[in-house]
Structure formats: structure tokens, C-alpha cells
Amino acid sequence: MSATPIVGGFHPDPSVCRVGDDYYLVNSSFEYLPGVPIFRSRDLVAWQLIGNVLDREDQLVLPSSAGSSGIFAPTIRHHDGRFFMITTSINTVSDGHLIVSATDPAGPWTTPVQTRGAVGIDPDLFWDEDGTCYLTWASGWGETPIMQVVIDPGTGTLHSEPRGLSRGTGLAHPEGPHIYRRGDWYYLLLAEGGTERGHTVTISRSRTVAGPYEGNPANPILSHRSTADPVQNTGHADLVETADGWAMVYLGVRPVGPSPSFHLNGRETFLAGVEWVDDWPVVDETAFEVQPRDTSLEDDFPSPELDRRWIAPGRHPREFVSAGPDGGVAIQPSPSPEHRSLLAIRVEDQNWDARATVAAGTARLVLRLDDSHWAAVESQGGAVSARVVMGPADQTLASTPGPGSPDVTLAIRATQPAPEPWGRMAAADNLELGYVIGQDFQVLASIDGRYFSTEVAGGFTGRVVGVEPLPGRADPAILRRFEYRAL
């Protein structure tokens, strides 16, 4: 298989659909706004970010920047000339799932309707040949945690009583359901085993959409549990029919470092081929050759419109970002402690370098996993400092006089350490916090990146890197230029 994701770094829970020659892919976004990034491809291998589905305040508002809150797994489908995206905001889960639609997948998408009476996560939409639309989701409880109901996707109205559809194959946490029809069979694809090392993909089939569903004797059809594969936690998949066959997108992680290994950039999206044998899908992880994407970003903010990659925890960036007084952008401080004014991008690489040129004394460059696990380089009071927050511990590791110029370039770099004897890794990655003079990276502090991994912090997200104002100041952070590149 390819150990290279088609969309790397904190792009979990992929869902895909095909319209003509084009494929469209969406991912979970959790507490970050705008929500649900959407990509387009012609070959399933090379993907371009074309927008974010939930990119307006009338579509989604979050109460805080709390980690792993917000938007859980979405599904994208196309029916009768419209795209539909259904997902769950865990902050309002008791109100049902959110459905939006659009004629153009780049937007605009409609204001959400809610599926009141269908409570849970991981919703899926499926239209049968007679036009009936079925909502299938994971309730998370009961003897049959996979539920189904007939629905009007335009209004969110339920047209039948929700009923139990499946209890899965016996593994933990059956979730991520998707329904498909191929020939005379209906198929139910599930994620099972939990989204950690035991994650799997299973499939069952039935002659009717209502079941009962018979499990594949070869289940699970995809899992890397108890293997030495460089990609682990494989699961939460979606199938798509191509012009000459079928394919599968699924999530996985790339753990590194000493036992138990640590995945640093969140759950990523991978690709496999699918062959059908005796009306069962067989996954071929060698079917596609995936090359690393160009993830570089050089932004001096020439336009009032931000690049599509910019996100923020708990807030839409347009709420607090405006044109700077002399170029660049001004990032306004947050009016409440529940939100951060952090303008960030997802970290997509295992070796990378990020640099932010800011007005001295106004800002910090932050690597964030959540509000309790982050590292920063701060320009404050004529000095540049390296700071880390790990749970209740908040410490300044080093400080030095600043360059004395109106602007300062803050920098964070992550690199994989060389193996020690017997292949042992001393650290998950080396995080270097510092600043730049000329082209020289001046390192203030170096720390083990495991402390900013999911295995340490918990949750479902990955790393982001970006700029925010210094705390306790009323004036904005002035960001002149931002650069990110893979090493």
C-alpha cells in the first residue's frame, strides 16, 4: 500500500461522491471554522481544496474553541442535480443532524435544516431507485446502535419511525454507516473497533434496504490492527463507483516515535481500490500510486479574502481578521475567554517549517493541538520567548532580546529524529521554537513533540499552526506574512 495520504494532516472521516468526471471529498472539522473542507479531483489521487461547506455564521456557530467539539463526520452525496452534505454538530446533537445542499459544490450551500428525532452521529443519506431517501446513523446505544429512518432531505422531516438496522459484527463502537446499492444487493458499510488501533472497516449485505443484513465472512475488509504497517487506525471508509471500477477512501494515522508511538497530525485520508468477488468488495491497497501533495503556503495577504486553508478554533476567521494598517492582516483579540483569535492552517506534513512575520510586540506563533496542549514563540516586551502549555503546566522555556526591528519573524520547525541503535526513536518529533534573522533559524528551545499528539492529549483532531494576539492586550496582532513548507 501507499503510506502517503491523498489528503494529509487532520482531514478525518472522509466521504466521497462522483458526479460525471469529477469526485468530491469532505472531511470532519470539529471545533474549527469554517467547517467541512471540500475537495475536488479528476483521478481520486490529486485533490484541490475548493472551499468549506459551512462557511457562514448562519450555518454554524460554536460556543467555544473547546477541543474535539463541533462538527463530527459528514457525508456528501449527489441526487437529482443537487449536492447534499449531512453532518452532526456535537454541541447541538440532541437537535438532530444538519443537512445543507448546493448546486455548485464550491458553494454557496444552504442554511442547515435539522433532523429532529434522529439523534446520534455519523449520518448517511441514501436514495433508493423509487426516490425514497433514507437517513442512517449511529445512535451509540441500544442493541441495534445503527439506526435508519425515511427522511425529506430538503426539510429534515422524518417520514417514518426510526428503527434499529444493525448491531455491527460484534466489535466495539459500530459507527460511520453508509448504504449503497449494487445490482440486487444493498450494502451496509461500517467502521468498528473504535477509531484507535483496533479500527476496522466491515460490510454486510441484504436484498432490502431495511435488512436484515448478512455480514461478509471475510470481515473486516480493511484493518491494520496488530501489524507493523506504517499506517494505523484504518477505518471510517466510504465507497465510490469510478468510470472503470470502485474505490474506497478511509482514514488512517502515521504513528512515529517510541512505544506506544504517537500520531502527530491527526487522522488523514487514504485511498484504496476495490474489486468485487462473489458480490463482496475486496480492498486492494496497491491499486493507486499516491505522490505527496504540495502543501506549501506563502501568504502576504494581497486580498481581503483569506486563503481557503485558513481556519480558527470556535470562530469564523472573518469575525476577527481584517486588513492591516500597512499591509498584511490585523488579528483582533478575542472578546471572551471561551474563544481564541487564532488564525491557523492544518499541519499536513511530518517534517515542516512555519514562519510568521509580525509587528514586534503584538503576536505569537502557535502550534496547537487543543487549548491545553500547545507551544508558541512570542514577541513581547522587546523579547522573543518560547512557551509551552501541557495540561496544567505552563512554562517559558527560553527568552532572548528581540532583533530590535519593527517586525520580527517567528518560527516553528518539526523534524523526525534519526533512529538510535536498534531502530529506537528517542522522540516522536523534534519541535524547535525560535525566530529568524536573515535566513538563519535561531533556536530558542527544542522539545519532544509527543506532548502535542493525540495519544497524550486525547481527542480527535490534529495539529494546526498559526498566529494570535498576545493575551492581555487590547491592540491586534499584525501579521505581515506567513510561510509554511514541507521539509
Q: What is the pLDDT of residue 140?
A: 81
Q: What is the sign of the dihedral through the CA atoms of 50, 51, 52 and 58?
A: negative
Name the more confident of 141 and 206.
Answer: 206
The H or E element containing residue 457 is: helix 454-457
Please report the pLDDT score of residue 116 as a whole number. Answer: 97
Kindly write down the DSSP assignment for every residue of 397-447, as one continuous string.
EEEEE--SSSEEEEEEEEEPPPP-GGG--S-S-EEEEEEEETTEEEEEEEE
Peptide bond into 162 cis (omega under 30): no
pLDDT tens by residue, 425-472: 678 999 999 999 988 999 999 999 999 999 999 999 999 999 999 988
Longest dimension (CA), the chain: 73
What is the pLDDT averaged over residues 409-438? Answer: 88
Q: Determine contact, residues 54/72, Cβ cutoff 8 Å.
A: no
Please state, for a pLDDT cut of 90, what percent of the chain lies above it: 92
What structural domains does the chain harbor? Answer: 15-284 (2.115.10.20), 297-486 (2.60.120.200)
Choosing from 31, 124, 175, 192, the catalytic residue is 175
The CA R_g of the chain, rounded to the nearest whole Å, is 23
Q: Which pLDDT value is given to residue 423?
A: 57
What's the one-letter identity of residue 409?
T
pLDDT digits (tens, 9 = 90+) for 211-255: 999 999 999 999 999 999 999 999 999 999 999 999 999 999 999
- What pLDDT shows up at residue 419? 76
Scan for cell 518539526, then name that residue. Answer: 414
What's the CA gap between 25 and 32, in Å, rounded?
A: 18
- pLDDT greater than 90 at residue 421: no
266-315 pLDDT, tens per residue? 999 999 999 999 999 999 999 999 999 999 999 999 988 999 999 999 99
Q: What is the mean pLDDT of residues 127-151?
A: 94
Average pLDDT score over the chain:
96
What pLDDT, on the 0 to 100 scale, is given for residue 484? 98
Task: Indicate which residue of 13, 124, 370, 468 is catalytic.
Answer: 13
Q: Is 13 a catalytic residue?
A: yes
Cα 131 off chain centre by: 32
pLDDT of 337 reads 87
pLDDT of 82 > 60? The answer is yes
| β 214-215/232-241 pair status | unpaired
pLDDT of the residue at 422: 61
pLDDT (0 to 100) of residue 418? 81
d(CA 259, CA 263): 11
Question: DSSP readout, 247-297?
Answer: EEEEEEE--BSSTT-B--S--EEEEEEEEEETTEEEEETTS---PPP---E
Query: Which secondary structure element, helix H or strand E, spans residue 26, and what is its range?
Result: strand 22-26
State the pLDDT confidence band at 478, using cuts at 50, 70 and 90.
very high
What is the mean pLDDT of the segment spanning 7-18? 98
pLDDT at residue 374 greater than cutoff 60? yes
pTM for this predicted structure = 0.97
Whether 373 shows a pLDDT value over 60: the answer reads yes
- Cα separation, 482 vs 322, in Å, equals 15
pLDDT for the residue 425: 67
d(CA 114, CA 87): 10
- Those residues whose C-beta lies under 8 Å from the C-beta of residue 326, and which sit 6 or more positions away, are none
Least confident of 135-149, 358-372, 385-399: 135-149
Mean pLDDT of 141-168: 95
